[in-house]
Structure 1
Amino acid sequence: MSEPKTYISIVIPLHDEEDSVAPLCRAVTAAMESADVRFETILVDDGSRDQTFARASDVASQDTRFRVVKLNRNFGQTAALKAGFEIAAGDIIVTMDGDLQNDPEDIPMMLQKISEGFDMVVGWRKNRQDSWALRKIPSRIANWLVRKSTGTTITDNGCALRAYRSEVIKRYPLYSEMHRLLPTILAMTGARMAELPVRHHPRQYGRSKYGLARTYKVILDLVALRMILTFHRSPLFGFGISGTVLGLLSMGVLITGFLQLLTNQGDVSLIYPGIGILLGSLSVSLLTMGILCDMIYVTGDTKMRPFRNSPLDA
């Protein structure tokens, strides 16, 4: 008896993509049927104001391999992906944009790479079909910042076409614009990652939902991610350094005030004691917070911990 085929879940966020829905679904179906895999496609309508939901529902009513999720307002791509991940039943989860710029024909190639033992495969839009000023330059700056600040080597963090093992991707919380940094998070916590050049087509319908503001959000998320991954193993270490520095400053200020009291024979300003007590209080607060965070980490959530004992175990 032959082994059962791997089940693939394809999660596609949609926002005001009414003209793209039908050709997108046809392209996905053709690519998956040619690859001879079992699959489901989850279309997540992220609060569209046009007929996106109606057209996605029409597709789902004719083909049970398509499912539709509707968010009651526009929450953003990260929230839409999270909604899709929560109901995805596949062993492998593939993500892609719904604007026809990603090519479903690249999915079989990514599945083949996953089967070689990787936990995720990230697409690289080598010949990107977007505006230099509004898309390519900000993207290159953001990718450079990610690589420099995290030590990872991912070329294109913004490419939506990716494939993940389900048990890996479902371990991690998603918020803000963190979907862009998922490969970085996974790579930094021990996942085996491969990157493949993929096709990228010009947008056929509608306008891009992305702009320079997204780059700013990514930078903020990158700062938050760096702090989380730097101090998550020992929060006391991070808070302890700051607390110790403030404690030493507090002692220095109080000693200065005491020496002033001795030299001025009682005529001393209250500034030194006030600042010293304030710095001391902040020091104690930071140390206490570090201890509490350490206790929470030891007894609580483990999502941000490395998920394999050996980098090569299956």
Structure 2
Amino acid sequence: MARTKEKQLISIVIPLYNEVESLNELYQQINEVVKANKYNYEIIFVDDGSDDGSLDVLKKLRQKDKNVKIISFRRNYGKSAALAVGFEHAKGDVVITMDADLQDDPHEIPNLLKKLNEGYDLVSGWKKKRYDPITKTIPSKIFNFTVSTLTGIKIHDFNCGLKAYRKSVTQDIKVYGELHRYLPVLAHWAGYKIGEVIVQHHPRKYGKTKFGISRFLKGFLDLLTVLFTTRYFKRPLHLFGTVGLLVFLLGFGITLYLSLLKIIEGIALSNRPLFILGIMLTIVGVQFISIGLLGEMITRAYQHLETYSIKEIHLD
């Protein structure tokens, strides 16, 4: 049974890795917000294998505040794993996520909740004015534009750590690998309503950014994973068949054109690399279509295992 609005429990899930300098200040800021708004809350810190003393700081915070919960990994597994475990243990009707580096502002929590209560299931923060180096902001703009274009979801900042979720979203969406960047995409394709609100962003105060070019490249590879598993997982022929058909038609067109030249003008084909290319494209196109058909056969065989995200059910 859902809690009443007054007793609604808010779970604040914070993944962290080597943020020992920022944790006390972050806790104080969160404490100010929850006390001022009289929230019923829990703070779940997920220590992703820190080796700088972060866990010791968290233990001291828990000694003075039992609303502080700690989950500590034996080694570094990544942000997606930390969020997945945090979601699993969160008891709240609403889950707030934020990074531990003080760049996300806890004072935005009321704004996220207000937007969520407008009928959204997931509200993502938008760091409209960012205080990051250009080596991070430019790739981020390209990344967000690409994801928005390919998925059709009109939000500006997919990777913002500051988000609000209804509990049903965190229970439905499975986070693994590096897919935390695409939680709005996964939620959208599961049928949830996605919103966005502009949030305050702060310059990094302690430590150094963990962003690197490898994360940027991995992000686009993960985008392919998300697009396939959301749009084409149940209909692989739509993807492989479309690509295969286009490649096949291109190859067939080339070979047909050269064959007509041979018939009409007597031009030899044996010394035409374009003819070899046409044959190769035709073969590759047939192979793609065959892969799509095999995928469809496998999908049909496992249709009885398919699950659906149900919003409501009335049987009486």
TM range (shorter): 0.7 to 0.9
Does residue 1:180 correspond to 2:185, yes or no? no
Q: Give me the identity figure in percent.
A: 36
Aligned with 2:304 (options 270, 281, 299) = 299
CA–CA distance in structure 1, aligned partners of residues 284 and 202 of structure 2: 59
Mapped partners of 2:284, 2:53: distance in 1: 59
Q: Does 1:228 align with 2:229?
A: yes
Q: Which runs of 5 or more structure 1 residues have no equivalent in the other structure?
A: 250-274, 310-314
1:161-172 alignment, distance < 5 Å: 161-172=162-173
Whole-Å separation in 2 of the counterparts to 1:210 and 1:36: 35
- Note the 1:38-49 alignment, pairs <5 A: 38-49=40-51
Q: Does 1:107 align with 2:113?
A: no
* Cα deviation 1:53-81 (Å, max 9, x = unaligned): 11011111211100000011111111111
Match in the other structure for 1:71: 73
CA drift at 1:214: 1.1
Is 1:193 paired with 2:194? yes
Give 1:201's aligned amino acid: H
CA 1:291 to 1:24, structure 2 compared with 1: closer, same or farther past 3 Å?
A: same
Moved over 4 A (4+): 236-249, 275-286, 305-309
Partner of 1:268: none
The separation in 1 between residues aligned to 2:310 and 2:49, in whole angstroms, is 34
Q: Is the 8 A contact 1:39 1:90 kept in 2?
A: yes
Q: Is the 8 A contact 1:238 1:290 kept in 2?
A: no
3-state secondary structure, aligned to 2:136:
helix
Which residue does the alignment assign to 2:296? 290
Q: Structure 2: which amino acid aligns with 1:53?
A: L
What residue identity is the alignment partner of 1:290? E
Pick one of 6, 20, 23 that aligns with 1:21: 23
- Residue of structure 1 equivalent to 2:9: 7
Q: Work out which of the residue numbers 18, 29, 32 in structure 2 matches 1:30.
A: 32
**Whole-Å separation in 2 of the counterparts to 1:245 and 1:149:** 20
Would the aligned equivalents of 2:131 and 2:203 in 1 still touch at CA under 8 Å? Answer: yes
DSSP 3-state at the match of 2:41: strand
**Equivalences for 1:146-161 in 2 at 5 Å?**
146-161=147-162
Kindly report which structure 2 residues correspond to 1:50-65, keeping only aligned pairs within 5 A, or say none: 50-65=52-67
CA distance in 2, matches of 1:219, 1:10: 28
Query: For the residues of structure 2 that align with 1:81 and 1:237, how far apart are their CA atoms?
Result: 32
Alignment of 1:80-91 (within 5 A): 80-91=82-93
Q: How far apart, in 2, do the equivalents of 1:184 and 1:282 lie?
A: 27
Matching residue of 1:272: none
- Give the CA deviation at 1:289: 3.5
> Letter of the aligned partner of 1:22 in structure 2?
N
TM-score (norm: length of structure 2): 0.80
Aligned ranges for residues 196-211 of structure 1 at < 5 Å? 196-211=197-212
Contact 2:144–2:158, Cα closer than 8 Å, also in 1: yes
Q: Which residue of 1 aligns with 2:220?
A: 219
Shift of 1:120: 1.0
Range with bigger deviation, 40-49 or 230-239: 230-239
- Residues 20 and 205, structure 1, Cα contact 8 Å, conserved in 2: yes
Measure how far apart 1:290 and its partner are: 2.1
* Superposition deviation, residue 226 in structure 1: 1.3
Q: How many residues were matched structurally?
A: 281
Two-structure CA RMSD over aligned residues (Å): 2.8
Deviation string 1:80-109 (CA, Å, 9 cap, x unpaired) is 111111100000011000001111000011
Aligned ranges 1:103-142 → 2 under 5 Å: 103-132=105-134, 134-142=135-143
- TM norm structure 1: 0.81
